[in-house]
Amino acid sequence: MQFRDLKKQYQVLKDRIDPAVIEVMTGANFIHGPQVGELEQQLADYTGTAHCVTCGNGTDALYLAMLVWQVKETDAVFVPDFTFFSSGEIVALAGATPIFVDVDQDTYNIDPAKLEEQVEKVIADGELTPKAVVAVDLFGLPADIKAVRKIADKYGMYLLEDAAQGFAGEIEGKKACSFGDISATSFFPAKPLGCYGDGGAVFTDNDEWAALLRSYCVHGKGSNKYDNIRLGVNSRLDTIQAAVLKVKLEALAEYELRDVNKAAEKYTAALEGVVKTPVIPDGMYSSWAQYTIQLPDRETRDGLQAHLKDNGVPAMIYYQKPMHRQDAFSETKHLYRDEDFEVTNRLCETVLSLPMHPYITDEDIEQVTGLIKAYVK
Ligand SMILES: *Cc1c(COP(=O)(O)O)cnc(C)c1O
């Protein structure tokens, strides 16, 4: 069994993907071919945003937002403690100070009450200025944007939506990638919308920022690539990836999003009362980058993972280590007390992500849930 079956997806979409890729190779427009602009328009339309700027990967997409906002060392950027490394890495790499915030044990997303506590603490300490908050849509579920937006507005902070895992999720009919002042996503192959290599995109309704993003991702270009008016990076989505993504975006909208939600319903129906299943708050819709359960303790979790593996079922631990304990952030370790991250510390010991993708069969779900029921009871 595959954790995320990209081979099966390719077999289903092969008749559409192969000619699209061959068209790029025939035209030899490998960089900035017409498919890139077409995809950007389709992504903006799909997410309901004014501007989409594609780039090299999801980490760059987040980093580009830091460049646009010109963050500096005395700026605090609030980041959930339970997420992939990039969400905090880009803050420190841009020279600002990441301040980690514990998450909600049901949604895995940033806890708005704890966010406000951390902002107040930063203000009281008087060394840093609250500048931005990174709201991560973890495992496909949008962050609690209403509450986070209120806090961002109250303290004059920008909101960066890290929708690397959240593409196609919804809050009350509004699509992910439209919730931030700037939003970023990743097209890493295993994400809800994945390409055949690395890729990413940035979204915003702000015309001025969109122009800055287009400059920063091409060496800080002015009127052209050889007129450089600021320092930037070289980060772009190549045309082959854009051609692949155009097909995959259609498939996601046509049936994949629906089918992955059906799979989630089946998992939850079989596992409810056996283990802690994912919670989807009212009005929210997940794109299920992961289907993640919680076990009572580390021993049970690790034992179950091994038991599944012995039976040919891959299950993964996202994430093993809280952000505040990563050595890469050791410079800011004095800012934290381990007990301020009670939920994240526990989640890192108890979570387990199960095989999940739009092409998973009922038989696979029955096998996985059968093994879990037998092990846990
Ligand atoms: C995958 C991921 C990223 C980074 O995306 P890449 O395309 O791998 O650079 C950032 N944030 C989160 C939450 C992710 O899951």
Dihedral angle sign, alpha carbons of residues 178, 184, 189, 195: positive
What confidence tens digit (pLDDT) does each residue in 330-356 have? 988 888 899 999 999 999 999 999 999
Does the CB atom of residue 186 touch ligand 1 within 6 A?
Answer: yes
pLDDT over 70, % of the chain: 100
Mean pLDDT of 107-136: 97
Residue of 162, 185, 287, 288 best suited for mutating to test ligand 1, as the one with most atoms within 8 Å of CB: 162
214: its two tokens: 């287009």
**Is the per-residue pLDDT at 284 higher than 90?**
yes
Using one digit for the tens of pLDDT, what is the confidence trace for 10-28?
999 999 999 999 999 999 9
Cβ of 137 less than 6 Å from ligand 1: no
Give the model's confidence band at 122: pLDDT under 50 very low, under 70 low, under 90 confident, else very high. Answer: very high
Kindly report the length of the chain: 377
**CA 104 to CA 87: how far, in whole Å?**
17
Cα of 202 from ligand 1 centre, angstroms: 13
Ligand 1 contact, 57 CB (< 6 A): yes
Q: Are 342 and 324 in contact (CB under 8 A)?
A: no
Which atom of ligand 1 has the smallest separation from the CA of 199?
A: 7
Tens-digit pLDDT profile for residues 127-172: 999 999 999 999 999 999 999 999 999 999 999 999 999 999 999 9
Query: Model confidence over 193-203: pLDDT tens digits?
Result: 999 999 999 99
- How many Å from the N-terminal Cα to the C-terminal Cα in the chain? 23
Q: Is the CB of 364 under 6 A from ligand 1?
A: no
pLDDT exceeds 90 at position 373: yes
| CA of 188, closest atom in ligand 1 | 7
| Nearest protein Cα to ligand 1, atom 6 | 58
Which 3 state secondary structure label does DSSP give 141?
coil
The whole-number pLDDT of residue 62 equals 98
Cβ-based burial of 85 (10 A; exposed 0-12, middle 13-18, buried ≥19) = middle
* CA-198 nearest atom, ligand 1: 7
ω into residue 375 within 30 of 0, thus cis?
A: no
Residue among 182, 188, 233 to mutate when testing ligand 1 (max atoms within 8 A of CB): 188
pLDDT digits (tens, 9 = 90+) for 229-272: 999 999 999 999 999 999 999 999 999 999 999 999 999 999 99
pLDDT tens for each residue of 30-59: 999 999 999 999 999 999 999 999 999 999
Order of all β-strands in the sheet with 129-136: 51-55, 200-204, 182-186, 158-162, 129-136, 75-80, 97-101
Any atom of ligand 1 within 6 Å of the Cβ of 292: no
> Which atom from ligand 1 is nearest to the alpha carbon of 87?
11
The token duo for 282 is 């009212």
